[in-house]
């Protein structure tokens, strides 16, 4: 048995495609030749041997093709493996390098971490609010259907149950539909009585959101049409807090407004919609809801999933046709065109005004990242110049340009990954700050956490950052002059002209982007100041408010409710320290209004008159005094208004709009009832500062006793908590079963309405400060470095008679040219893209000249200071030392 020969290794298996084919060819030819020789040695002729060999082998061509395909695959796999191991080598090398330069590495990693962390934090908000607010698959396909009644200036209103039922029937438009009606009920029998948010659901609500019970079961969609269904499903939070998170809570009952409901199931933790919801119960559809008269009781939020393949336009057209149908079927709708049904993406509806804020912030963090990258890029370039010798050695040892670029890019990537890891930590801190500042007002922000999507985004940011700050320095560094670099052993080679340009460019970029962030934050500060300057029409200070609702079960008739309210007001008034006490149905800044048409008998509508439609406000006690709303004309309500013809008080806006200079006192008005105007009060802002005014008519509660809910308003110089405790005590004395909820001071309510503005302002301010700090460091670093490079030149100048002041001026001038270029570039860019801020600004345009001037001055000043320190140092150069030193 002859042992196989040991092959001498000649060259690696070829990698190129044609070489592959030749390789396969050679291998097979060798085989067949070998066979032929074998056969010929057995006595066959050349021709016979060849025929025999080929026949034994089979289809050479086909096998050859098969082999080439296989080899190509293994070649690819092998080249990937080899590249990975080269990358691993570079990464190890980079880590060793980082260890040798701990200070430099720390500066770079922290800078990157700040930029990346800001992105991680804001993206996780965007992710939680805009991208993935609920775990429902295909959430982005859901739409909310709302109506605009243009004639009433009523936009994005809910639908009536009748309209909802009609939309549910449009199976040609919607694959799934459901609706909800918000509300709250008094929870009793579990310690202190409480107000809980109960969502009434209609249609296959849980099915639409594709949610499954965490514990227990859900009620069926037809529960709405099954009278006497008394079941509730609990949110995860309610189950934890009120039911002890106990599985056995299923089947227990809770008492709501004095009626027992059975708890049949619990929603999973990640399904929290609506954010405030605590319990879900079927909306009980009374047939009376479907009469044409009740089609304007708008209380349902309709959510639907359009059929697959339907475009937004097709859905819009379908809704338009539906409105036409309703006009035909139910006379009394507003004239066509005044009434519009529209579908909004559910996710956008959910995000509300946070959407614009978050998008603006996302843009801002993009700028922060660019600044960080420009900063690190210049550091990397300087470092590469210092390491020219190290790079030259590798080049001399045979590393090509591509290898060196790859090596330096891997170093950048390793730095960026370190920055990303630290950045996630920083992001978590930023996120905590942002959500803690705003969570009280924004339930959307309560459940923000880092998930796989956020980590993927961060990874992407890391790679982008590494490329942004790494590519140019790597390419520049790879263009190394071997001779020069290796010979010049004393110091790293000085910067070439092109490299200098890059450093200068990075300063310009940093200044430009910082200016944009400064301007954006200054605009939000100024617009918040403007909003705060707005007069809501009442004096918010020292006003404490709280809500209560009388359950119909125990306060069934008007007399019972009036008696309760009267006693409550008397009790509160009797407490020393409570200066004035009032009740109102729809307190300003407490959310919600009730608007309905009114008539002015004998006064035909003027051509430019606004629609005759007013907010209803039912008040009691000293409401105007408690709120600090001045009575401009006429009088306040008196006990006499409780009987006989109804007196109504209108606001200034209504008086001006419909009576002009005429005195409205004594004029007839029909709003729910027929009455007379007895007074005019100052207009108040109803929902948020800066809102357009809407006519308001005040009714005296004894004449509108249908009211079962109310907000108590107390003016007192006592501390808010004390007032709250006193009021709570008074209510408990009257009815221990009655919860007092939503206790807030009036300034708190106004402040809460400003949350999106404040969120935008704080976060932008923070990022502007951060980028200002980064670019100060950037300017300082670049100027210091370039003056250090010019030590010799400066020494010559001084030896030739230049005085220190000339040197300082020269350095400063060079620095300020860069600053001015940056400011101009940033200003021009801001004029271009500042428009995205429009929706978060109030009373100030994105091109406000004063703000822009201020930003420019601040930034130029800061740049001057950052350059002044190295400029002074340059002037202290001793010419002798400088000339000898090199």
Contacts of 476 (CB under 8 A, 6+ apart): 381, 384, 498, 499, 502
Find the shortest distance in angstroms from Cβ 43 to other proteins. Answer: 11
60 vs 883, beta carbon nearer other proteins: 60
Cβ distance 736 to 193 under 8 Å?
yes
Structure tokens at 831: 């004029």
Find the shortest distance in angstroms from Cβ 509 to other proteins. Answer: 48
Find the shortest distance in angstroms from Cβ 243 to other proteins. Answer: 57
Find the shortest distance in angstroms from Cβ 18 to other proteins. Answer: 16
Kindly list the distances between the CA atom of residue 753 and the CA atoms of 194, 271, 440, 689, in Å, as whole numbers in the listed order.
Answer: 24, 26, 11, 8
Q: Which residues bind other proteins (CB under 8 A)?
A: 1, 3-13, 23, 26-28, 30-31, 34-35, 56-59, 63, 66-67, 70-71, 73-74, 77
For 52-60, the CB contacts below 8 A with 24+ separation are 57/28, 57/31, 57/32, 60/28, 60/32
56 vs 432, beta carbon nearer other proteins: 56
In whole angstroms, give the CA distance from residue 730 to residue 712. 12
Select from 275, 188, 278 the least CA-distant residue to 233: 278
In whole angstroms, give the CA distance from residue 40 to residue 46. 6
In whole angstroms, give the CA distance from residue 385 to residue 187. 73
Find the shortest distance in angstroms from Cβ 75 to other proteins. Answer: 9
Give the Cβ contact number of residue 792 at 10 Å: 16
SS3 186: strand
Find the shortest distance in angstroms from Cβ 89 to other proteins. Answer: 21
In whole angstroms, give the CA distance from residue 614 to residue 600. 12
Cβ distance 815 to 790 under 8 Å?
no
From the DSSP assignment, how many helices (H) and strands (E) are in the chain? 25, 23
Find the shortest distance in angstroms from Cβ 114 to other proteins. Answer: 45
Find the shortest distance in angstroms from Cβ 73 to other proteins. Answer: 6
66 vs 484, beta carbon nearer other proteins: 66
Find the shortest distance in angstroms from Cβ 27 to other proteins. Answer: 5
26 vs 594, beta carbon nearer other proteins: 26
Backbone φ, ψ for residue 596 (5° rounding)? -150, 160
Find the shortest distance in angstroms from Cβ 92 to other proteins. Answer: 24
Per DSSP, 191 falls in state: S
59 vs 222, beta carbon nearer other proteins: 59
Beta strands 613-621 and 696-700 are parallel
Contacts of 189 (CB under 8 A, 6+ apart): 254, 255
Phi/psi class of residue 718: alpha, beta or left (left: φ > 0; alpha: ψ in -120 to 50)?
A: beta
1 vs 640, beta carbon nearer other proteins: 1
57 vs 709, beta carbon nearer other proteins: 57
53 vs 374, beta carbon nearer other proteins: 53
Find the shortest distance in angstroms from Cβ 79 to other proteins. Answer: 13
58 vs 576, beta carbon nearer other proteins: 58
Find the shortest distance in angstroms from Cβ 84 to other proteins. Answer: 15
59 vs 156, beta carbon nearer other proteins: 59
- HSE at residue 76, side-chain half, CA atoms within 13 A, is 5
52 vs 687, beta carbon nearer other proteins: 52
Contacts of 541 (CB under 8 A, 6+ apart): 746, 747
29 vs 443, beta carbon nearer other proteins: 29
Indicate the burial class of 269 (C-beta count within 10 angstroms; 0-12, 13-18, 19 or more): middle
SS3 496: coil
């Amino acid at each position: 048995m002859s042992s196989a020969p040991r092959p001498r290794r000649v060259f690696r298996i070829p990698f190129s495609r044609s070489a592959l084919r030749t390789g396969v060819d050679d291998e097979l030819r060798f085989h067949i030749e070998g066979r032929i020789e074998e056969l010929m040695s057995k006595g066959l002729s050349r021709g016979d041997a060849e025929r025999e060999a080929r026949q034994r082998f089979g289809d050479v061509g086909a096998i050859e093709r098969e082999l080439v395909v296989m080899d190509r695959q293994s070649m690819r796999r092998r080249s990937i493996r080899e590249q990975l191991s080269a990358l691993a080598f570079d990464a190890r090398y980079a880590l060793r390098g980082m260890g040798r330069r701990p200070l430099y590495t720390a500066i770079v990693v922290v800078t990157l971490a700040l930029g990346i962390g800001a992105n991680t934090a804001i993206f996780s908000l965007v992710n939680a609010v805009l991208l993935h607010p609920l775990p429902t698959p295909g959430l982005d396909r859901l739409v909310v259907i709302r109506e605009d009644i243009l004639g009433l200036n009523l936009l994005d209103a809910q639908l009536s149950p009748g309209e909802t039922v009609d939309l549910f029937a449009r199976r040609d438009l919607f694959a799934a539909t459901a609706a909800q009606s918000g509300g709250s009920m008094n929870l009793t029998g579990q310690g202190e009585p409480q107000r809980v948010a109960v969502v009434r659901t209609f249609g296959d609500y849980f099915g639409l959101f594709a949610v499954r019970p965490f514990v227990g079961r859900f009620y069926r969609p037809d529960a709405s049409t099954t009278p006497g269904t008394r079941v509730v499903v609990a949110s995860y939070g309610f189950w934890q807090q009120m039911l002890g998170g106990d599985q056995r809570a299923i089947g227990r009952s809770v008492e709501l407004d004095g009626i027992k409901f059975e708890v049949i199931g619990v929603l999973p933790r990640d399904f929290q919609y609506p954010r405030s919801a605590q319990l879900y119960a079927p909306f009980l559809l009374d047939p009376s809801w479907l009469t044409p008269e009740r089609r304007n009781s708008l209380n349902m939020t309709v959510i639907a999933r359009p059929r697959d393949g339907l475009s937004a336009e097709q859905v819009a057209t379908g809704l338009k046709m539906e409105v036409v149908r309703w006009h035909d079927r139910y006379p009394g709708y507003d004239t066509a065109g005044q009434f519009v049904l529209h579908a909004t993406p559910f996710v956008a509806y959910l995000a509300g005004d946070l959407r614009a804020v978050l998008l603006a912030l996302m843009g801002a963090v993009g700028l922060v990242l660019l600044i960080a990258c420009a900063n690190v890029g210049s550091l990397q370039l300087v470092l590469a110049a210092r390491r020219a010798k190290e790079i030259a050695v590798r080049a001399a040892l045979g590393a090509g340009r591509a290898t060196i670029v790859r090596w330096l890019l891997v170093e950048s990537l390793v730095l960026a990954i370190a920055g990303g890891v630290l950045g996630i930590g920083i992001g978590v801190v930023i996120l905590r700050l942002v959500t803690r500042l705003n969570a009280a007002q924004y339930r959307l922000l309560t459940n923000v956490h880092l998930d796989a999507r956020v980590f993927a985004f961060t990874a992407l940011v890391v790679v982008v950052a590494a490329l942004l700050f790494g590519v140019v320095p790597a390419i520049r560094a790879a263009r190394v002059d071997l001779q020069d670099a290796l010979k010049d052993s004393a110091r790293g080679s000085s910067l070439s002209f092109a490299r200098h340009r890059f450093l200068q460019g990075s300063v310009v970029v940093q200044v430009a982007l910082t200016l944009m962030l400064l301007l954006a934050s200054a605009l939000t500060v100024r617009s918040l100041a403007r909003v705060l300057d707005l007069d809501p029409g009442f004096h918010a200070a020292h006003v404490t408010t709280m809500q209560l609702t009388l359950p119909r079960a125990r306060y069934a008739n008007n007399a019972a409710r009036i008696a309760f309210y009267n006693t409550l007001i008397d009790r509160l008034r009797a407490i020393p320290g409570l200066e004035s006490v009032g009740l109102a149905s729809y307190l300003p800044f407490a959310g919600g209004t009730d608007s309905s048409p009114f008539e002015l008998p004998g006064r035909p509508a003027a051509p430019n008159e606004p629609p005759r439609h007013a907010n209803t406000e039912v008040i009691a006690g000293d409401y105007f005094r408690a709120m600090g709303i001045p009575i401009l004309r006429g009088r306040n309500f008196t006990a006499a208004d409780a009987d006989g013809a109804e007196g109504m008080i209108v606001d200034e806006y209504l008086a001006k709009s419909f009576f002009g200079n005429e005195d409205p006192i004594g004029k007839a008005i029909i709003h729910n009832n027929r009455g007379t105007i007895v007074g005019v009060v100052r207009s108040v802002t109803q929902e948020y500062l800066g809102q357009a005014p809407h006519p308001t008519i005040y009714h005296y509660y004894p004449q509108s006793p249908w009211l079962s809910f109310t907000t108590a308003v107390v003016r007192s110089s006592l501390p808010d908590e004390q007032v709250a405790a006193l009021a709570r005590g008074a209510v408990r004395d009257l009815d221990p079963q009655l919860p007092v909820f939503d206790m807030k001071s009036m300034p708190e309510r106004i402040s809460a309405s400003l949350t999106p503005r404040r969120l935008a302002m704080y976060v932008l301010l923070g990022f502007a400060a951060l980028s200002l700090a980064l670019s100060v460091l950037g300017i300082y670093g670049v100027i210091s470095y370039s003056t250090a490079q010019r030590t010799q030149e400066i020494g010559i100048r001084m030896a030739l008679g230049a005085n220190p002041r000339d040197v300082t001026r020269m350095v400063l001038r060079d620095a300020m040219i860069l600053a001015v270029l940056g400011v101009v570039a940033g200003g021009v860019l801001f004029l271009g893209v500042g428009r995205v801020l429009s929706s978060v600004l109030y009373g100030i345009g994105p091109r406000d000249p004063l703000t822009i001037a201020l930003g420019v001055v601040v930034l130029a000043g800061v740049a001057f200071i950052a350059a002044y320190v190295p400029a002074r140092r340059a002037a202290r150069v001793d010419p002798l030392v400088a000339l000898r030193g090199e």
